[in-house]
C-alpha cells in the first residue's frame, strides 16, 4: 500500500543513539539527561499509585495537575488559563503538537514552520493533509526573519509553529521579536503552536518569552510544554497544552480519540510535586553550570562554539575541524572520536548544510568532562 510518509525514515535521534551504543561513544546526540530525577518526584508518583490512582483519569487530565499548570502560567506570565476549559495533559509535547495540528489543519491548508525545526512538525502536518511551508530562520544567527514569514502567509495559511527556546539552535526569542510576531499576525486568522518545552532553560539572566505573555498571540495559540524536559524524566512522556477554550474544545475532540488520556499516577505525582516551584526555578542555574563546564572543557578544541541562550544544547561550527559535511562528520565523530552529536541539517527540509552540529549537555559532569576531553583531540 502507498506510504503515508514516503520521505520519512527513522528519526536522527534514534539513529544516532543506536550508533553511540554500537561504538560505546559518549552520547551527546539525542536530547535526554543521563542522570536521575528528584527522588521526591519518584515518591510522589509511588504514593499516587499506592493511594489507588491507577484507573483512567478525566479525559482532559488530572484536575490538580491542570490547576497547577494554570497557576504556574499565571504566576510566571500573567495570563490565567481556566484549568477546566483551557489546559489539557498530553502524552508528551509530541502528542500535543500532533493533536493540535490534526485538530486544526484541513486538507490543503498551509502550515508555516521555521527551519531548522524539530523533526516531528513536518510529518505531522503531512499526516493531517496539510502543506508544510518551510521559512528559514536567518542563517548564522537563527533569528526570525519577519519579512520572509510575512511573505509566506497566504489565504491558505492555517497555522504557524514557533519554538523558543529553540531546538536545535539554542537561541531564545526576545520580547521585541514576540511583539513583532504579534503585530504581524494581528490582521490574519493564522493560529499558532508555541512549542515551549525548554521554557525553564534560559541562561545569563535571559527571560523566556512565553506566548502567554502576549494577548494577541495567546488568543490564537496552543502553548505546549513537557514535564520530561523540566523534571529530567523524558521517558515519562507527559506534556501540557494551554489554549483558549474554543481551541481547547477542538483539541480535545481529537485528543479523546487519539490517546483519550494520559497515565494517572504520573499526573497525580506531578501535581503534588509542582506545588514546590524550586525545581523549575532552579533549572536555569543548574543547566547554565553544565553549559559552562562543557564549554570550558572545549577550550583548546578547534570547534567554534555558537552561543547557547537557552535549551540544553550547544552548537558548534566544524568548518575548521573537518571538510566533511555535517551528517558525514557526525558519523565519523561517533566512530573515530567516540562522541555522538546531531547534524543541524537533520532539522532542515532540504538537508541545508552549514557545518554545524548540536551537542546535548543534559549530562552528568563526568560525562561532559569525558566528552570534552575526546573532542579536544579534534
Ligand atoms: N519539541 C521540541 C522542540 C523538542 O525538542 C522535543 C523533545 N525532543 C519535543 C517537542 C517533544 O517532547 P516530548 O518528549 O515531551 O514529547
Ligand atoms: N527532543 C530530543 C532531541 O531533540 C529527542 C526526542 C526524540 O528522540 N524523539 O534530541
Residues β-bridged to residue 82: none
> Using CA positions, which residue lies closest to atom 1 of ligand 2?
31
Assigned C-alpha cell, 320 = 575548521
pLDDT range class, residue 117, cuts 50, 70, 90: very high
Best substitution site from 31, 118, 233, 344 to test ligand 1's pocket, by max atoms within 8 Å of Cβ? 118
Q: Which ligand is nearest to the CA of 224?
A: 1
Q: Which ligand is nearest to the CA of 237?
A: 1
DSSP string, 157-206: EEEEEEESSPTTT-----HHHHHHHHHHHTTS--EEEEE-TTTT-B-TT-
- Asked whether 11 and 235 are in contact (CB, 8 A), the reply is no
Residue 186 phi/psi, 5° resolution? -50, -45
* Centroid of ligand 1 to alpha carbon of 26 (angstroms): 21
What is the per-residue burial (b if ≥16 Cβ within 10 Å, else e) of 226-257?
A: bbbbbbbbbebbbbbbbbbeebbebbbebbee
For 120-143, write each residue's pLDDT tens digit. Answer: 999 999 999 999 999 999 999 999
For 144-186, write each residue's pLDDT tens digit. Answer: 999 999 999 999 999 999 999 999 999 999 999 999 999 999 9
> Using CA positions, which residue lies closest to atom 9 of ligand 2?
13
**Residue 349 pLDDT:** 87
Assigned C-alpha cell, 319 = 568548518
**Residue 146 pLDDT:** 98
- Asked whether 147 and 181 are in contact (CB, 8 A), the reply is no
- Asked whether 65 and 271 are in contact (CB, 8 A), the reply is yes
Q: How far is CA 266 from CA 47, 55, 67, 91, 303, in A?
A: 10, 12, 15, 11, 41
Best substitution site from 29, 32, 227, 229 to test ligand 2's pocket, by max atoms within 8 Å of Cβ? 32
**Residue 352 pLDDT:** 87
* Centroid of ligand 1 to alpha carbon of 94 (angstroms): 6
**Interacting residues of 120 by C-beta distance below 8 A, sequence separation 6+:** 94, 97, 98
Q: Which residues line ligand 1 (CB under 6 A)?
A: 31, 92-94, 118, 163, 167, 195, 197, 226, 228, 234, 237, 239
For 325-364, write each residue's pLDDT tens digit. Answer: 999 999 999 999 999 999 999 999 888 899 999 999 999 9
Rg (CA), the chain: 20
> Edge to edge, what strands does the sheet with 313-317 contain?
304-305, 313-317, 356-360, 342-343
**Residue 109 pLDDT:** 98
What mean pLDDT is reported for the chain?
97
Q: Is 11 in the pocket of ligand 2 (CB under 6 A)?
A: yes
**Residue 224 pLDDT:** 98
- Asked whether 224 and 243 are in contact (CB, 8 A), the reply is no
Q: What is the DSSP-derived secondary structure letter of residue 70?
A: H
Model pTM score: 0.98
For 269-288, write each residue's pLDDT tens digit. Answer: 999 999 999 999 999 999 99
- Asked whether 200 and 212 are in contact (CB, 8 A), the reply is no
For 243-271, write each residue's pLDDT tens digit. Answer: 999 999 999 999 999 999 999 999 999 99
pLDDT range class, residue 208, cuts 50, 70, 90: very high
Q: What is the DSSP-derived secondary structure letter of residue 137?
A: P
What are the start-end ranges of the H helices in 159-302? Answer: 175-185, 215-218, 227-230, 245-258, 264-273, 278-281, 283-297
pLDDT range class, residue 42, cuts 50, 70, 90: very high
Q: What is the DSSP-derived secondary structure letter of residue 213?
A: G
What are the structural domains of the chain? 12-30+282-375 (3.90.1150.10), 39-276 (3.40.640.10)
Q: Is 13 in the pocket of ligand 2 (CB under 6 A)?
A: yes
Amino acid at each position: 500500500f502507498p506510504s503515508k510518509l514516503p520521505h520519512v525514515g527513522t528519526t536522527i535521534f534514534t539513529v544516532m543513539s543506536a550508533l553511540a551504543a554500537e561504538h560505546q561513544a559518549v552520547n551527546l546526540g539525542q536530547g535526554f539527561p543521563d542522570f536521575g530525577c528528584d527522588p521526591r518526584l519518584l515518591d510522589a508518583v509511588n504514593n499516587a499509585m499506592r493511594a489507588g490512582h491507577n484507573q483512567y483519569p478525566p479525559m482532559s487530565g488530572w484536575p490538580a495537575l491542570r490547576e497547577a499548570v494554570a497557576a504556574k502560567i499565571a504566576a510566571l506570565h500573567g495570563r490565567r488559563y481556566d484549568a477546566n476549559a483551557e489546559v489539557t495533559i498530553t502524552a508528551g509535547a509530541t502528542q500535543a503538537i500532533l493533536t493540535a495540528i490534526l485538530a486544526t489543519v484541513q486538507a490543503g491548508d498551509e502550515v508555516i514552520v521555521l527551519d531548522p525545526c524539530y523533526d516531528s512538525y513536518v510529518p505531522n502536518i503531512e499526516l493531517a493533509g496539510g502543506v508544510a511551508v518551510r521559512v528559514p530562520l536567518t542563517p548564522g544567527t537563527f533569528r526570525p526573519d519577519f519579512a520572509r514569514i510575512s511573505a509566506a502567509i497566504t489565504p491558505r495559511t492555517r497555522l504557524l509553529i514557533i519554538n523558543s527556546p529553540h531546538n536545535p539552535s539554542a537561541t531564545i526569542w526576545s520580547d521585541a521579536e514576540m511583539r513583532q510576531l504579534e503585530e504581524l499576525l494581528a490582521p490574519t486568522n493564522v493560529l499558532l503552536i508555541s512549542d515551549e518545552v525548554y521554557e525553564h532553560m534560559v541562561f545569563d539572566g535571559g527571560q523566556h518569552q512565553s506566548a502567554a505573555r502576549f494577548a494577541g498571540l495567546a488568543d490564537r495559540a496552543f502553548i505546549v510544554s513537557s514535564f520530561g524536559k523540566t523534571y529530567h524524566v523524558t521517558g515519562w512522556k507527559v506534556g501540557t497544552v494551554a489554549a483558549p477554550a474554543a481551541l481547547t474544545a477542538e483539541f480535545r475532540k481529537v485528543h479523546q480519540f487519539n490517546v483519550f488520556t494520559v497515565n494517572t499516577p504520573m499526573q497525580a505525582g506531578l501535581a503534588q510535586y509542582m506545588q514546590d516551584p524550586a525545581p523549575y526555578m532552579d533549572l536555569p542555574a543548574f543547566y547554565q553550570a553544565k553549559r559552562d563546564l562543557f564549554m570550558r572543557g572545549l577550550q583548546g578544541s578547534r570547534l567554534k562554539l555558537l552561543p547557547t541562550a537557552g535549551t540544553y544544547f550547544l552548537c558548534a561550527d566544524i568548518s575548521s575541524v573537518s571538510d566533511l559535511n555535517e551528517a558525514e562528520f557526525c558519523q565519523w565523530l561517533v566512530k573515530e572520536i567516540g562522541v555522538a552529536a546531531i547534524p543541524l541539517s537533520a532539522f532542515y527540509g532540504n538537508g541545508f548544510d552549514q557545518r554545524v552540529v548540536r551537542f546535548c549537555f543534559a549530562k552528568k559532569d563526568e560525562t561532559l568532562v569525558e566528552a570534552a576531553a575526546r573532542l579536544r583531540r579534534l
